[in-house]
Amino acid sequence: MKLTRVGVDLAKQVFQVHGVDRAERPAWCKRLKRSRWIAELERAVEPGAEIGMEACGSAHHWARVLQGKGYRVKLIAPQFVKPYVKSNKTDANDAEAICEAMSRPSMRFVAVKTVEQQDLQAVHRVRSSLIRERTAKANQLRGLVYEYGLVAPRELISLRRAVPEWLEDADNGLTARFRALLAGLYRDLQRFDERVRELDQEIAAIAREHEAVGRLEQRAASAP
């Protein structure tokens, strides 16, 4: 059995594969357990064959693993696979659709991310999530103090200055219970600020590392 192309439908526990031979005949359609799928693929598919997957979930991880074993990996955006699903959406039909989509000359593929690129993407995603949570916390704080007759500034930097002033003002009508609640919200904001600063420093460090690597590569390329 000489397989030239294999489509893989990724999942958490069981992967579906659909492989075709040089005559485009289905020759290997199977469900493989996550713990054994790479080993079984190596037994059935020779290095140099094309392995295709949708660019989602753990696809970049598995792509790097397969590339390390000598396979040519093609990642496809899910929306470009969908038109090739011939009937009802099942794991087997999805794997077949991936296998067919990757054969199209005009298909656009997704570049496989390096571990460093995924690290940077993860940092940015976490930072974005923290900023959304911080914004929600600030809006919650603004809404609560408004019910006590205090108008909170729109800018976050001004809000940070305003809260301690409200807490210290004994004549603004805030109860002891609400002051304790407001102090807790302020601490929440400070924790979000600290986490965002940490990630900003991490992003800056990654940028410096990449810049240093880029300079080394340029010097190596210009060396006689």
What are the structural domain ranges in the chain?
Answer: 3-101, 115-222
Query: Are 53 and 8 contacting, i.e. CB atoms less than 8 angstroms apart?
Result: yes
- Label residue 217 by pLDDT band (50, 70, 90): very low
Q: Give the pLDDT score at 23.
A: 92
Give the residue-averaged pLDDT of 139-165.
Answer: 95
Q: What percent of the chain has pLDDT over 90?
A: 83
Q: Give the pLDDT score at 223.
A: 44
- Three-state SS for the chain is CCEEEEEEECCCCEEEEEEEECCCCEEEEEEEECCCHHHHHHHHCCCCCEEEEECCCCHHHHHHHHHHCCCEEEEECHHHHHHHCCCCCCHHHHHHHHHHHCCCCCCCCECCCCHHHHHHHHHHHHHHHHHHHHHHHHHHHHHHHHCCCCCCCCCHHHHHHHHHHHHHCCCCCCCHHHHHHHHHHHHHHHHHHHHHHHHHHHHHHHHHHHHHHHHHHHHHHHCC
pTM of the model: 0.80
First to last CA, the chain: 48
**pLDDT by residue (tens digit) across 115-143?**
988 988 999 999 999 999 999 999 999 99
Mean pLDDT of the chain: 91
Which CATH number is associated with domain 3-101?
Answer: 3.30.420.10
Lowest pLDDT segment from 72-81, 132-141, 203-212:
203-212
**Amino acid residing at 211:** E
Q: Give the pLDDT score at 30.
A: 95
- Label residue 7 by pLDDT band (50, 70, 90): very high
**pLDDT by residue (tens digit) across 15-61?**
999 999 999 999 999 999 999 999 999 999 999 999 999 999 899 99
